[in-house]
Homo-oligomer: A and B are copies of this chain.
Amino acid sequence: MDELKQHWKGGPVVLKRQKSIAKDGYTILTEGGKSTITASTDAGLMYGAFHLLRLQQMGADVDHLNISEKPAYDLRILNHWDNPNGTVERGFAGRSIFLNPDAQRLLIYARANASVGINGTVLNNVNAKPEALSTESLQKAKYIADLLRPYGIHVYLSVNFASPIKLGGLATADPLDKSVVAWWKKKVAEIYQLIPDFGGFLVKANSEGEPGPCDFGRTHADGANMLADVLKKHGGIVMWRAFVYNPQSSDRAKQAYEEFMPLDGQFRSNVIIQIKNGPVDFQPREPYSPLFTSMQKTPMMVEFQITQEYLGAANHLVFLAPMWQEFFDYVKPGQVKAMAGVANIGDDTNWCGHHFAQANWYAFGRLAWNPTLKSETIADEWLRQTFTNDNRMVKPMTKVMTESREAAVNYMMPLGLHHIFAGGHHYGPEPWYAPAGVRRDWTPPYYHRADAEGLGFDRTSKGTNAVEQYPQPLSTQLNDIATCPEIFLTWFHHVPWTYKMRSGRTFWDELCHKYDQGVQEARQFLATWDAMQPYVDKQRFDEVQHKLRIQARDAVWWRDACLLYFQTFSQLPIPADMEHPVHNLDEMKKYSIRITMYENPPYGYTK
């Protein structure tokens, strides 16, 4: 195997086939200077080889190995939100690597994915253009698929449900219409002609303006099943997204459940419902989506977001493994069938915009293979392979990485706050954003509900009763402010400003301290990194330092904007024993970053 030939520095390695080993699984046995990798498939052997190389790169003992591995999920897939024009939605690392596919670069991409066990990739945005299925696009997909195939990676496409109309010229896209079915059959046949191992479709339907079966009086199940039937004979699957909400809903957090639960049991076996980890939208912290514990008869997969749409884009160091692990604290890994991750990859030289954002790509792959891996372990692995095996760097930076997500929650949205981002982007704070005419559920006050009494969205039995969607005893626990975990407090409760927290502080004081704690943590990350200079090359040291400085300044911006704004409701003083806001609310209200959803936010001193 090329990877071993070029990179393995140890003794001889024998590759062995054995049918009894699970798909993609492998064993490694090393004795007397000789290693044997055993697997049932080429992919399994490859994953075993990468395992050896990982250990070698980490400076681990590779003389006495007795390893047996198999992935938790058969499908470990990236979702690229790449558009045909090369922009990447919520992409902060340049333009699409698939716009003008470069064979050399895609080879690196394939190896990187394979090295962490990723075996599928959706090449285009879930907000799919009909042109994604044009013959020209499919030729390009074939070119990419051919490059990725040797690394065990299958190609998938997002499809626009109205493609039969917009691309095919039909009068309808009704999934029960025969001409529509015929069109899809023909299109799918065309695809498999080009890409015999094509994986299937990802569909965002009847969500945020995208077309779907409901436009024709049909259900999500009708739409998904029609595509599933067409794909089935080729071995393809349909990943049907459950990310739906509309302005009429009493509570956006409840809608996916309300819309999909009635359909449980109606989907074909080659349909998987792809559900975001939380019920709203990739917030810094959400409780898990209750569909995961309620749907019993439908295969589900969890969609995580690797790209940091809501977590500081490519400017903030936020290691996401702890967030994904938190999900698995509530949802047993076996309750889902697959893992999807919205990629953070672009054509930037460093792939992900922020050097440490690569760790999230890495962590996604590792957790899709084994969701019980600890964040510390993944961070340690990644640091050793990426920077150095020197513990003077690995130990402190592992700490930074594992603490970074909680810090981001603290300086952005502690204690259950969510979606209080600026209008126009999801980078900075704008909890006051609520211009006339904008859908309420697209404005922060819909989520934080600040008023003179308190803060938070009452989702208890006295409010929208979203708690009811969770199983007992969790539902009762969440419903009671005294037993609800404080990390979800304002998610489920409208909390009085003077409510007594477990710390002994009032809720207002606790909120202030959490925000300030986030600021202090962000500064500490910077100070820790500054001490890493001896262990890191100059370019990466400088670039990461620059980003951490941005993060520390942004943390202050978040703290000040949120506290000063919420203070207009609480009318309570900022506690004396913390650092006080240094900005003025009226000035902050005038400030805006004018960026599209395809750009990493700038932060210059002069901005």
Residues of A at the B interface (CB closer than 8 Å) are 523, 526-528, 530-531, 533, 546, 549, 552-553, 573-574, 576, 578-584, 587-588, 590-591, 604-607
Contacts and interface: CB of A to CB of B under 8 A. Distances in A.
Given A590-B606, A591-B605, A607-B606, A523 B584 contact: no
B582 A526 contact: yes
A582 B531 contact: no
A527 B590 contact: no
Contacts of A533: 573
Contacts of A606: 587, 590-591, 607
Contact of A582 (B528, B553, B591): B553
Contacts of A579: 523, 527
Given A523-B580, A549-B582, A553-B582, A573 B605 contact: no
Given A579-B523, A582-B552, A583-B549, A530 B588 contact: no
B573 A590 contact: no
Contacts of A583: 549, 553, 605
A578 B526 CA distance: 11
A580 B526 contact: yes
Contact of A605 (B526, B576, B588, B605): B588
Contacts of A582: 523, 526, 549, 552-553
Contacts of A576: 527-528, 530-531
Interface centre among A580, A591, A604 (most CB of B within 10 A): A580
Nearest to A587: B605
Contacts of A580: 523, 526-527, 530
Nearest to A554: B582
The 6 closest A-B pairs by CB, nearest first: A587-B605, A527-B580, A552-B582, A549-B582, A526-B580, A553-B582
Nearest to A589: B605
Nearest to A577: B527
A570 to B, nearest CB: 13
A20 to B, nearest CB: 54
Contact of A573 (B526, B530, B587): B530
A525 B587 CA distance: 21
Nearest to A525: B580
Contacts of A549: 581-584
A582 B588 CA distance: 19
A441 to B, nearest CB: 29
Given A523-B580, A531-B573, A552-B582, 17 more contacts: A523-B579, A526-B582, A527-B574, A527-B578, A530-B574, A530-B576, A531-B576, A546-B584, A549-B582, A553-B582, A553-B583, A587-B604, A587-B605, A590-B605, A591-B605, A591-B606, A606-B607
Contacts of A553: 582-583
Nearest to A583: B605
A552 to B, nearest CB: 4
A527 B526 CA distance: 24
Contacts of A527: 574, 576, 578-580
Contacts of A605: 583-584, 587-588, 590-591
A580 to B, nearest CB: 4
Contacts of A578: 527
21 contacts: A523-B582, A526-B582, A527-B574, A527-B578, A527-B579, A527-B580, A530-B580, A531-B576, A546-B584, A549-B582, A549-B583, A549-B584, A552-B582, A553-B582, A553-B583, A583-B605, A584-B605, A587-B605, A587-B606, A590-B605, A591-B606
Nearest to A560: B549
A361 to B, nearest CB: 26
Nearest to A522: B582
A309 B605 CA distance: 24
A71 to B, nearest CB: 41
A499 to B, nearest CB: 22
Contacts of A607: 606
A590 B581 CA distance: 26
A418 B185 CA distance: 80
Nearest to A553: B582
A209 B378 CA distance: 68
A200 to B, nearest CB: 46
Contacts of A584: 546, 549, 605
A549 B579 CA distance: 11
A573 B526 CA distance: 13
A607 B578 CA distance: 27
A468 B11 CA distance: 76
Nearest to A545: B584
A179 to B, nearest CB: 56
Nearest to A607: B606
A588 B553 CA distance: 14
Nearest to A590: B606
Contacts of A552: 582
Nearest to A527: B580
Nearest to A549: B582
A171 to B, nearest CB: 52
A553 B578 CA distance: 16
Nearest to A520: B579
